[in-house]
Structure 1
Amino acid sequence: MTTDEPQRPDLARELIARATESATHRAKRVRNQLDAVQLGQGRHTDHANTSVLRRILAEHDWPGHRLVGVSGARAAWSIALHSDHDYAFQRAATTLLERAVQAGDALVQHWAHLHDRVLITSGRAQEYGTQLLLSADGIELCPLRAPASVDARRATVGLPPLAVALMAVRRRYPPDSSADEAPTVVLVGAA
């Protein structure tokens, strides 16, 4: 990976701005701080972000570290990860991200998260245990293939043991016993 200036800082800025706005919106959604109009606006933003990333992928392939820098590549990954409304796009993005990983231009951890998300959104069990459901009952691991060997698979992509990742997510999303309503069920990621 490179620490040089990205080739397309303009794309990096756009991706970062879009991903930051979406992350702020998702944090409010997780905490039930959005009304119906705001929820709809968030869906519109996700669709718009997917369209922008689709255009970038068509023009440049995966926007990796060389093209948009580390922060821009992370933003692109975040946008792809939250493109659940477009499974075909998410699956294609996973393939392009995998190629970028193989070329040393993206993080394998990002690929593992996106790979798991595609598996979950298609109704299959995930490989690396990165996808969780956050609900009124707490944090729940999405279906996982061969749970006994998940930590070995996680190690191959540089992820910590699942118990460590779950502890971090539980610290990030503590139960809110003061909430008036049960929180919406939300798919979240674990490192």
Structure 2
Amino acid sequence: MKYLLIPLFCLISFITNAQKHFDISLKKQMDSVMFLDQKYRDTLTWLMTPDKVAAITKKLGMSASNAINHYNKLQKNIDSANTNFVEGIFKQYGYPGKSLVGDSTSEAAWHIIQHSKRIDDYIPIIKKAAEEHELTFRLYAMMLDRYLMNKNQEQIYGSQMTMRTLKSTKINEWIVWPLKDPKRVNALRKKAGFKDTVEENAANLDVKYRVIKLDDIIM
């Protein structure tokens, strides 16, 4: 009987510890922050989508440029408040990952930092969370790509697209930011957890993929 109780005790201990780790109050707070993070982003996306801009500007009753400026300002104010909140969470808990707030909510803090100007400060925390399986590794890969792009360095996974002027055309256009290893990018994407290729990802966002080097871009 003594030996049968040991596994049962271990199981109860494991369940108790898991329950202590999960924080329903923090989960609700992070869900609210995530909602605010997305509040105006769909509208801004539509305002920059050629086949939707006419309908959305008519509905809003303002020009596209005025609407973009208006909603950008609103979203930036939200993003600033969200970043301050998440910074406080990091100080208190570290990264609020899967064991603390659940699988889906574990992405909330990532979204806030990805949309902030603080990636340089917090990408080590994001990396650690991904390595400890508290955050989906694919998301860290996306942040790493953005971190590299922000520093005018080649990205690894091909997740970042931006509007730039090419030296050859002198036209400001959407491109997939230059890749460190174009030949291996899809293998790297698969290993990181992406379900599509760099070509498919670009096509889904109406961007024509082609290999571009840093030297091809007017910085």
Same fold (TM over 0.5): yes
Q: Structure 2-normalised TM-score?
A: 0.66
- Matched letter for residue 104 of structure 2: S
4+ long deviations beyond 4 Å: none
Distance across 2 between alignment mates of 1:13 and 1:139: 37
Deviates more, 1:61-70 or 1:29-38: 29-38
Distance across 2 between alignment mates of 1:165 and 1:36: 28
Distance across 2 between alignment mates of 1:56 and 1:97: 13
Partner of 1:39: 72
Please give the residue correspondences for 1:64-75 in structure 2 after superposition, counting only pairs within 5 Å: 64-75=97-108
Distance across 1 between alignment mates of 2:163 and 2:24: 35
Which structure has the greater CA radius of gyration?
2
**Runs of 5+ consecutive residues of structure 1 not aligned to the other structure:** 174-191
Distance across 2 between alignment mates of 1:48 and 1:36: 19
Please give the secondary structure, in 2, of the residue aligned with 1:78: helix
Aligned residue pairs, count: 164
Partner of 1:20: 35
Q: Structure 1-normalised TM-score?
A: 0.75
CA RMSD after TM alignment: 2.5
Please give the secondary structure, in 1, of the residue aligned with 2:133: coil
Q: Which of these residues, 109, 126, 132, is aligned with residue 138 of structure 2? A: 109
- Matched letter for residue 101 of structure 2: V
Deviation of 1:77 (Å): 1.2
**Runs of 5+ consecutive residues of structure 2 not aligned to the other structure:** 1-17, 48-55, 57-66, 165-171, 208-219
Deviations 1:10-66 (A, max 9, x none): 222222222222223111112226353332121111111111111111111111101
Partner of 2:61: none
Identity %: 21
Distance across 1 between alignment mates of 2:137 and 2:179: 19
Partner of 1:141: 176
